[in-house]
Amino acid sequence: MRPRSLEEFVGQEHILAPGKLLRRAIEADRLPSVILSGPPGTGKTTLAHIIADITHAKFVRLSGVESNVAEMRRVLAAATNRLRTAGAKTILFVDEIHHFNKAQQDILLPDVESGNLRLIGATAYNPFFYVNSPLVSRSQVFQLEPLRVEQLELLVDRALADKERGLGNYNVQIDNDACRHLAELSDGDARKCLNALEIGVLTTPPDAKGVIHFTLPVAEESIQQKAVVYDRAGDAHYDTISAFIKSMRASDEKGAIYWLAKMLHAGEDFRFIARRITIFASEDVGLADPEALPLAIATQQAVEFVGLPEARIPLAHATAYMCRAKKSREACDALNAATENIESEQTQRVPEHLKNKHFPVNPET
């Protein structure tokens, strides 16, 4: 069910619509090395295959998790030989490139710089943080976005109609609410959506007429749980906690509770959330509501005492309180200003009237 051309590719119109930079570079065969960054199931591997097909290049895949230095050197040598002897180009696709250490990434630099091959790196992380700067500077970075619900529904329809690469040889009748359920719970991940569709079709017995009815209960059983895009060590972790804090700062109670629920659903450490609420109570609420900090401390103690799943209740209680509380950053701003003065100016001596006068400065021995 993998698309074979840009016309079949679904999503990413912001970089692949006619006239957009990436599409123009691919069609003109003027594509530099690129790094594709985006959540799982957004088409990074598929797009790399399409680029190789359009540019008539040899497609070679390495894994940032599995490939070692010896394998990398063999691939690079073969690409150089291919270009010199046959004039054939090579697309080196490195999946999960952020898993390569610095030495492995540095091995790629000479061949990328000389043009012996075109690198397409794929990562779900921010490449500016997880990929070596020299490699990033020699590559064009493109961000892929999660697919929208209607785009995932289109993929489902295509998969059911495609007899060559999809499920078109099965007589499937899918209900609209079942298709919508798959699309919504896939959270923008085309791979998860199509995998759930496939397992549902292959495990549902046909009726007497040979029709497989893909109903909402079948969809619910096939996908089971929403695929929340969240990584406790990656960008999604920091982006979500940022959204949580900024929602509380804006007194957006509904938004803050939503981000809290997302973090808890994804398995975020509830102690981490409690710590952030405690910091917020002092930093953002501060002097405007002196009860906020004691409540945050009590929340931290409560979640430690009760644990999950009940810990989510005091966390929601504290979140709602912080949203409704008046805000004041006076204490934090004053401290920051004083710190800036200390760092940028000559430090002041303690004035005489503020010194400790209980003991003489130079006591006699």
What is the C-alpha separation between 322 and 281, in angstroms, rounded? 7
Q: What is the DSSP string of 49-108?
A: HHHHHHTT-EEEEEETTT--HHHHHHHHHHHHHHHHHH---EEEEEETGGGS-HHHHHHH
| Three-class DSSP category at 120 | strand
Percent helix, strand and coil across the chain, each rounded to 5? Answer: 55, 10, 35
At CB < 8 A and 24+ separation, what contacts does 175-178 make? 175/213, 175/214, 175/215, 175/216, 177/216, 177/219, 178/214, 178/215, 178/216, 178/218, 178/219
In a domain, 92, yes or no: yes
Answer with the one of 110, 143, 176 that is the final residue of a domain: 143
**Residues 304, 307, 310: CA angle, nearest 5 degrees:** 125
- Do 199 and 283 belong to one domain? no
| Three-class DSSP category at 299 | helix
- Do 20 and 125 belong to one domain? yes
Q: What is the pTM of this model?
A: 0.67
In a domain, 360, yes or no: no
- Do 52 and 130 belong to one domain? yes
In a domain, 271, yes or no: yes
pLDDT of residue 185: 87
Tens of pLDDT, residue by residue over 266-276, are 878 889 999 99
- Do 156 and 194 belong to one domain? yes
What is the C-alpha separation between 231 and 124, in angstroms, rounded? 10
pLDDT of residue 290: 92
What is the span of the domain harbouring residue 307? 235-324
In a domain, 361, yes or no: no
Answer with the one of 143, 171, 190 that is the final residue of a domain: 143
- Do 137 and 155 belong to one domain? no
CA-to-CA separations, 242 to 211, 273, 300, 319, 355, in angstroms, rounded: 48, 11, 19, 14, 43
- Do 135 and 156 belong to one domain? no
- Do 206 and 280 belong to one domain? no
- Do 134 and 154 belong to one domain? no
- Do 217 and 245 belong to one domain? no
- Give the amino acid at 60: V
In a domain, 188, yes or no: yes
- Give the amino acid at 239: D
Tens of pLDDT, residue by residue over 259-314, are 999 998 887 888 999 999 999 999 999 999 999 999 999 999 999 898 888 999 99
- Do 118 and 160 belong to one domain? no
What is the C-alpha separation between 298 and 122, in angstroms, rounded? 44
Read off the CATH number of the domain in which 203 is found: 1.10.8.60
Number of domains in the chain: 3
pLDDT of residue 364: 54
- Do 138 and 249 belong to one domain? no
pLDDT of residue 294: 96
pLDDT of residue 348: 77
CA-to-CA separations, 342 to 45, 241, 245, 337, 355, in angstroms, rounded: 52, 31, 29, 9, 19
Please list the pLDDT of the chain residue by residue as tens digits (365 residues).
788 899 999 999 999 999 999 999 999 999 889 999 998 899 999 999 999 999 999 999 999 989 999 999 999 999 999 999 999 999 999 999 999 998 899 999 999 999 899 999 999 888 988 898 899 999 999 999 999 999 999 999 999 999 998 999 999 999 999 999 999 888 889 999 999 999 999 999 999 999 999 999 899 899 876 555 666 666 677 888 999 999 999 999 999 999 999 998 887 888 999 999 999 999 999 999 999 999 999 999 999 898 888 999 999 999 999 999 999 999 989 998 888 888 787 677 788 778 777 655 555 54
Q: What is the DSSP string of 201-232?
A: HHHSPP-TTS-EEE-HHHHHHHH-S------T
> Looking up tokens 């569709």, which residue turns up?
197
CB atoms within 10 A of CB 323: 19
- Token pair recorded at residue 132: 């070596």
Residues sharing a CB contact under 8 Å with residue 12, sequence separation 6 or more, in sequence order: 42, 43, 47, 144, 145
In a domain, 339, yes or no: no
Read off the CATH number of the domain in which 309 is found: 1.20.272.10
